[in-house]
Structure 1
């Protein structure tokens, strides 16, 4: 009698253990990405990665600075495996806080070393140059300023568009701060605020410049290239101006990805970073 009662309980125990094992395997077969890249792009990347590897991707979208601050607050308790962002200053912050683990050397080797973390804690995925988009019907390239700092001068009032709340603007300000110091940076920003029309994002800046609503605007080159691809040559009435002589206005901003030191699926996260720098992703 006791044996006949014991067998079902033993079987039940085996079923429970098997269920827990399956649940653990399912968890190991997915990663959580805190994403500060464009949501549409990230969704396409995640879908393709899942098809290629069988590793599920759960995405939490947000602004880069907000997600980085959240990761600092969560610390070792974060559910995130990967942080993927448009701007390197946020990656540097997490690196300084000791929250990142090393990226596989083979993944780092795909990207020129100058675009990666010197410590190997994050990998650069794309590089975008800060430029001026200008309307070719309103101004000639020869009339554009030789330096980004000139945009704060009175003669440019009402002629420029900027998107200070866009994630791409902060690295530019950080570069000016490192080069000129706080006082000169504040003076430049005040002049820029006086002269500029404010937009929500770089897409708004370049679209307005292209249709002639603004003479010129500070953007990353990616946004003009995307608009040009959408409109074609005939409907594109703008062009890009690249600052010369090493001017800070031609800053190259690196977007990148990192793996959290407390990641629940480090292997899956490493595979995701490997995918991000692969020829297939590009």
Structure 2
């Protein structure tokens, strides 16, 4: 896969400002629901960071024609809350940071089938096969690397190659991070429990250095503390946008598309099965998939758009279709408990 490059050094501040100018509250006072809805407020449970998506969600009132209330927490917390609330939940729409939480709700039959014109906007790999949720943006697992320490990076096509003796003590990872958990879950799904356990045991024997998050891993690579780091692609793009490419030593490398280390995970949305606001909830997802909002995610945080025809004007991102990623069924990322148990068993928590 081609290494990523940055086209421009600044984020799309103009679009962010225009979105933010439309409001900064998490609930609204617009009167009236749509003609097909009996609820008076569209309630969204958002596992996405408020600082990132509030400028977008604040505009939903206009898009759906009714008041909007947003409740923020982590995706895993909100999924657990929804499973506990069941049919009694007040939520109409779940906006998740990852596919695993959406898969858990789909498995529990808590998500309604979306309108066909909504699901048709998103490629099959990035939506539920039964139309219960769709991706709204994507992110790719990559290797951050220090060129001075890993000049042979282009020879690395899969995660098995970082288990070679030359990488002992030189790998950084974030054991408590949800994106690392998603990678391990994908590893379990693709290779089975026994092979996943064997890989993790070999990885542990490499004496990897643990950090609090992807940014800390990237900083360690950039500072030469480790040679290779397991991160999501957009952390590098954001760092280069902030500091300038000449000020960042680290680079990123994409693995082969059929490798679990190249997982494309997604943020996405689904409508709760018991909602009284089905029309408005589907309209909200259409809004998240609109060209304008897809452009916002692509230009503001270097996430991959999931709608054809949208390209970042700030970051040099290959379209998802051109990455050629061999994608697992993202619903299968829901088995987080098994992943955490396995990581604990091999001492990687």
TM bracket (short chain): 0.7 to 0.9
Distance (whole Å) between structure 1 residues aligned to residue 32 and residue 291 of structure 2: 32
Distance (whole Å) between structure 1 residues aligned to residue 152 and residue 45 of structure 2: 40
SS at match of 2:78: helix
2:251 aligned with 1:247, yes or no?
A: no
SS at match of 2:134: strand
Which residue pairs with 1:197 in the alignment? 209
Match of 2:226 among 209, 214, 218: 214
Deviation at 1:245, TM superposition (A): 6.0
Match of 1:96 among 69, 87, 107: 107
Distance (whole Å) between structure 1 residues aligned to residue 148 and residue 68 of structure 2: 46
Superposed, which structure 2 residues align to 1:68-79 within 5 Å?
68-79=79-90
Match of 2:183 among 172, 176, 185: 172
- Which structure has more strand as a fraction of its residues? 1
Q: Contact 1:153–1:191 (CA<8 Å) still a contact in 2? A: no
Distance (whole Å) between structure 2 residues aligned to residue 56 and residue 148 of structure 1: 47
Map Cα deviations across residues 134-181 of structure 1 (whole Å, 9 max, x no partner): 122332243764321333444322211112322212221122112222
2:236 aligned with 1:224, yes or no?
A: yes
Distance (whole Å) between structure 2 residues aligned to residue 112 and residue 144 of structure 1: 30
When the two chains are superposed, the root-mean-square deviation of aligned CA atoms in Å is 2.5
Distance (whole Å) between structure 2 residues aligned to residue 52 and residue 212 of structure 1: 48
Which residue pairs with 2:271 in the alignment? 259
Which residue pairs with 2:6 in the alignment? none
Deviation at 1:75, TM superposition (A): 0.8
Distance (whole Å) between structure 2 residues aligned to residue 51 and residue 42 of structure 1: 16
Which residue pairs with 1:34 in the alignment? 45
* Structure 2 CA distance for partners of 1:141 and 1:230, relative to 1, 3 Å: farther
Deviation at 1:125, TM superposition (A): 0.9
Larger Rg: 1
- Which structure has more helix as a fraction of its residues? 1
Structure 1 residues not aligned, in runs of 5+: 1-21
TM-score, normalising length: structure 2: 0.68
Match of 2:139 among 128, 135, 139: 128
Q: Contact 1:83–1:259 (CA<8 Å) still a contact in 2? A: yes
Superposed, which structure 2 residues align to 1:30-69 within 5 Å?
30-50=41-61, 52-53=63-64, 55-69=66-80
TM-score, normalising length: structure 1: 0.83
* Structure 2 CA distance for partners of 1:186 and 1:280, relative to 1, 3 Å: same
Q: Contact 1:63–1:167 (CA<8 Å) still a contact in 2? A: no
